[in-house]
Amino acid sequence: MRSATVTPEGDRIRWAELPGREPTRVYVHGLGSTSPAYFAEAAAHPLLAGHRSLLIDLLGHGISDRPGTFDYTLEAHADALAEALTSANVAGAELIAHSMGGSVAIVLAARHPHLVSRLVLIDANLDPMQPTPGSGGSSGIAAYSEEEFLAGGWREVRDRAGAHWWSTMRLAGREALHRSAVHLVRGSVPTMRELLLDLTIPRTCLVPEADGPVVGGDALAEAGVAVVPVPDCGHNIMLDNPEAFACATAEALGGPDAGE
């Protein structure tokens, strides 16, 4: 395990690191998740192995610190991640990022362009959403006030999330989980989609094939963003269909020998 101080108060982001060649690959998890649990199999897959790889946990999640004073906006997450990558002597990284992690990765690439050379976004959030009481995911969490969530709303979220998601969600700080969800639903300004369209680095969006046509797919294609449907999977593409995920990600990164 490696770590870096990322706030003036001394809060630390932590990650598991695999040695290898450059460019470095940085794996970023989604809301209530942790990168080692979600990406270890992918990072070790023969099509993806061999690069220096950081399986990193955002502040408030997994093995990273869970400060109650951090605001957990997408921009704050991105800036903290930038501090960690800079401390780890990472530049021009290839980011493989899931769900909320994809939103953070987009903001990171826009705010700290020297740190990111390529994006692979896994069913990432590109647009603001409406908080929806009783729904799953970030919109359901964001429907609570912070006081309601801390007072017991988190138990309702636990019961809706199910054992699989809760196994990593329970590692997140409760303030961190709620604030991250609120700011994910609120989105960035400009929106994540607008930032993504304006980037000039190679960008790929992996999406579940079963979800059908991607919203705004024509505009993404016109801006040079590759949209790749992956079969036989849901939102957690890397867990649901590891082989197809590895194949699609390797292709997005330029093939298994890219960077040699």
How much is the pLDDT for 188? 97
Give one DSSP letter per residue of 124-190, joined into a string: ---S-----TT-SHHHHHHTS-HHHIIIIIHHHHHHHHHHHHHHHHTTS-HHHHHHHHHHHHH--SS
Q: What is the CA radius of gyration of the chain?
A: 17
Length of the chain: 260
How much is the pLDDT for 173? 98
Q: What percent of the chain has pLDDT over 70?
A: 98
**Is it the case that residue 248 has pLDDT exceeding 80?**
yes
Q: Rounded to whole angstroms, how far apart are CA atoms 242 and 135?
A: 27
CB 31 within 8 A of CB 181: yes
* Distance in angstroms between the alpha carbons of the first and the last residue of the chain: 26
Instruction: Please give the sequence-ordered ranges of beta strands (E in DSSP) within the chain, or none if there are none.
Output: 2-5, 12-18, 21-28, 51-57, 93-98, 116-122, 203-208, 225-230
Confidence of residue 255 (pLDDT cuts 50, 70, 90): low
Residue 181: CB partners within 8 Å, gap ≥ 6?
A: 31, 138, 139, 141, 142
Count Cα atoms within 13 angstroms, Cβ side, for 210: 9
State the pTM of this model. 0.97
Q: Backbone phi, then psi, for 163, in 5-degree steps?
A: -65, -35
Q: Rounded to whole angstroms, how far apart are CA atoms 180 and 168?
A: 15
Q: Could you tell me which of 173, 175, 178 has the C-alpha nearest to residue 100? A: 178
Helix%, strand%, coil% for the chain, nearest 5? 45, 20, 35
pLDDT tens for 34-61 read 999 999 999 999 999 999 999 999 999 9
**Is it the case that residue 260 has pLDDT exceeding 50?**
no
Q: Backbone phi, then psi, for 15, in 5-degree steps?
A: -155, 160
DSSP state of 99: T
Query: Which residues are registered as beta bridge partners of 3?
Result: 14
pLDDT tens for 110-123 read 999 999 999 999 99
pLDDT tens for 10-31 read 999 999 999 999 999 999 999 9
Average pLDDT, the chain: 96
Strand order in the sheet with 2-5: 2-5, 12-18, 51-57, 21-28, 93-98, 116-122, 203-208, 225-230
How much is the pLDDT for 257? 52
How much is the pLDDT for 129? 96
pLDDT tens for 65-84 read 999 999 999 999 999 999 99
